[in-house]
Amino acid sequence: GAGVSQSPSNKVTEKGKDVELRCDPISGHTALYWYRQSLGQGLEFLIYFQGNSAPDKSGLPSDRFSAERTGGSVSTLTIQRTQQEDSAVYLCASSLGGQVQTQYFGPGTRLLVL
């Protein structure tokens, strides 16, 4: 069956440009997460969506980062005025929702800011 998909798989951009990263979760999954993983580092939580509830944005590192989830499905993570320190792999995960659920991850988007 279809898993979590992310696009683009790789993105190279110039410092100061805006980028949009897309995540298509597994159909029927109400919860969606964005993480950032820098080289050799663990997963850094960014934002969490659960159904129609207000998202938990507590992990967003600055106001240059924002995310939205339309229709409870597809999500877009936007980084404005990119900086070199934004270079990382951005991972999206989804789950069925509920108190304890397995997260299913996409392959990630590798972002390089020059």
Partner 1 sequence: SQKIEQNSEALNIQEGKTATLTCNYTNYSPAYLQWYRQDPGRGPVFLLLIRENEKEKRKERLKVTFDTTLKQSLFHITASQPADSATYLCAVERSGGYQKVTFGTGTKLQVIP
Contact assessment for residue 89 and residue 35, using Cβ atoms and an 8 Å cutoff? no
**5-7 and 104-105 beta bridge pairing:** unpaired
Residues in 50-89 that interact with partner 1 by CB under 8 A: 50, 56
Of the candidates 96, 108, 114, the one whose C-alpha atom is nearest the C-alpha of residue 22 is 108
**Would you count residue 106 as binding partner 1 (CB under 8 A)?**
yes
For residue 109, list its beta bridge partners: 90
Q: How many residues bind partner 1 (CB under 8 A)?
A: 26
DSSP state of 101: -
**Would you count residue 107 as binding partner 1 (CB under 8 A)?**
yes
Question: In angstroms, what is the minimal distance from the CB of 26 to partner 1?
Answer: 13
Question: In angstroms, what is the minimal distance from the CB of 107 to partner 1?
Answer: 6
**CA–CA separation, 2 vs 14, rounded Å?**
33
Binds partner 1 by CB under 8 A, chosen from 93, 94, 111, 113: 93
The binding site for partner 1 (CB under 8 A) comprises: 4, 31, 33, 35, 41-43, 45, 48, 50, 56, 91, 93, 95, 97-108
